Structure 1
Amino acid sequence: MKKNSYLLSCLAIAVSSACHAEVLTYPDPLGSSQSDFGGTGLLQMPNARIAPEGEFSVNYRDNDQYRFYSTSVALFPWLEGTIRYTDVRTRKYSQWEDFSGDQSYKDKSFDFKLRLWEEGYWLPQVAFGKRDIAGTGLFDGEYLVASKQAGPFDFTLGMAWGYAGNAGNITNPFCRVSDKYCHRAESHDAGDISFSDIFRGPASIFGGIEYQTPWNPLRLKLEYDGNNYQNDFAGKLPQASHFNVGAVYRAASWADLNLSYERGNTLMFGFTLRTNFNDLRPALRDTPKPAYQPAPESEGLQYTTVANQLTALKYNAGFDAPEIQLRDKTLYMSGQQYKYRDSREAVDRANRILVNNLPQGVEKISVTQKARAYGDGDYRNRRSQPAQTAGRYSAWSIRATATTTC
């Protein structure tokens, strides 16, 4: 009991520390995130979400029994695939001690998720998924799942067969069709691609809630687990609770940190690294970065100057359909950045373009990158020193925040 309280305290402290940490860059709201097994999901359980098309993720998760290494890619808006390599820490590499040495058991598997119905105003998104295809069947199973977003909450409810449904908290509905659906083979030959056991064996209802906090980088998860872990390959695992809780912290646009407390007694941690091959195009023959050459300040926005800035923002900084507005003492620029994988390069170029022709009285520049997947990133540049010589700013500091779009 003391151990459980200690682990829960560690999780609470970690989340609290993340909430109060002072950082220079606040990434965009999370949206969907990767599960313990790889692929979009809750923690142990999947959801109906699929990552933005073209997203490629590298994942690592670690607990006392398993280390999960996986890569996941969203091939289409309706299909994603995951390749997973699992280190079973409680089992030797083989049944022969001398041959195994210090090596633990390793397992390879492949998963996929197929969207059956896209989310609408009233209806949820529905997906079918299959885990551990062409593997040894350690985590073999399939599921039907629905997810529906309501404001900052994303609700999930599904039914699983096989590994994720081992708790058997409901009667398999397909048993009414035929008795053959009431039994499932326990394992498969490695490399054997088979769908003969689909919808067979024990079945369980699972579900969960994800909450996008007002603080953009933090997303919280609560799930009801459909597995009881009594027939686990790592051994019969004690389960004090069917509820798992976790948090995802987006450290950068390309990196998530994950921490969860599962089965009421186990701490899981890990990370996800991601990129998206569809969003950005490399600049093979790039134009030179604008020189830092501030001109004397003008009164208000000048038509010719703004026209030249918009052209430079599009073709030099890589912002599609850029917009410039002047309100009070802030100059606002927004647009969808398509040119650079490193957004800091685009922001730096935009800064130079805007700073070189600032209207009088401007004390702050706000550069907003409109992203298709996760909302808007708002980069605000403030003059770090009030000193001003010949209409030119002596120094600038960069501070970044982000807005939330629901």
Structure 2
Amino acid sequence: MDKKVIGIIGGGQLGRMLTEPAIKLGFDVVVLDPTPNCPAAQVGAQQIEGSWKDAAKIAELIERSDFVTIEIEHIDVGALEQFKDKPINPSPDTIKLIQDKYNQKVFLKDNQLRTADFSEITSEDKALEVFEKFGGSMILKSKTDAYDGRGNEVVKSKEDLEKALNKFSGFGLYAERLVDFQCELAVMVAKDFRGNIKSFPVVETVHRRNICEEVYAPARISEEIEVQATSLAERLVAKLDGAGIFGVELFLDRNGEVLINEIAPRVHNSGHYTMDGCETSQFEQHIRAISGMKLADTTLTTPTAMVNILGEREGPVELQGVNEAKQIPGVSVYLYGKTPTKIDRKMGHINATAGTIEEAMNNAKEARRLISI
């Protein structure tokens, strides 16, 4: 019998980490990615070379696939909408909703899901009005094509506001009141074809330059906050159409309230710890969810810390220190096969398991110090 084919739009590191469990589960994998010999192709995926926004290439991928998913949401959704008979997950409607971060916020508000105050910005006068309404402290965001800090500007003065508006040079913007948070949290929530939901543990994330750099699993929070965060994330995902993993990013504010920051309709950086810390990884669970298989156990088996390996220079990859890092107890190093290295480019990640989350994070950070890429 021919193997079923999983089609993935995007063949970067997430596509790579989806390909590996898909093959183990007995699927063939085909990815669409513009980079020759992309990370997913290096671990057994067939590759269609082309843009994620090329409707003809997307159609080719879908025609070759039994199940279709994404590793990146910045794609041509219109091309997906032509294929009503194919299981495309998450649904094109959900991808379209999440592509526009302002529409995300409206969706959250309409569904009584807690999030920061926000307002559309349609002119300089409106920007100034909102800045004053939010107490002189807000974040200005591009509605679309914003990720890993791109398209976000913190505004704490009128000079900041002027610079931010000049940088964006046009509108298609909205503003959010800056949340005074204790910490940032995230929950990976899996949903299958039948609407069954299974969440991974709540984790604590640390961002620098708006990029996730560290993840603590479990989060260092009370059981009450964990229940609040999980419930909020699951209520959100239940209202979204389609199957798969959804990465829900959250704030825990100074009043002990959990608010939704934003949603990713896919596997997520803050879930990489699951590869070593849970009974099932987020990547295997996503493949199960989008292919009609039963969702697997998401239990955390041991405290696990994740540290990203970000590029620190521009140029060819010159890898050093990986073998030394792997000698640290409980440390696993995952490299993505990307080249060249660039400042803040995600080149890999480190997971470390230990008896306590503090020990795990110390070991992960020590491993990171040893690695140069």
TM category, shorter: under 0.3
Q: Bigger radius of gyration, 1 or 2?
A: 1
Q: Which structure has the highest helix share of the two?
A: 2
TM-score normalised by the chain length of structure 2: 0.22
TM-score normalised by the chain length of structure 1: 0.21
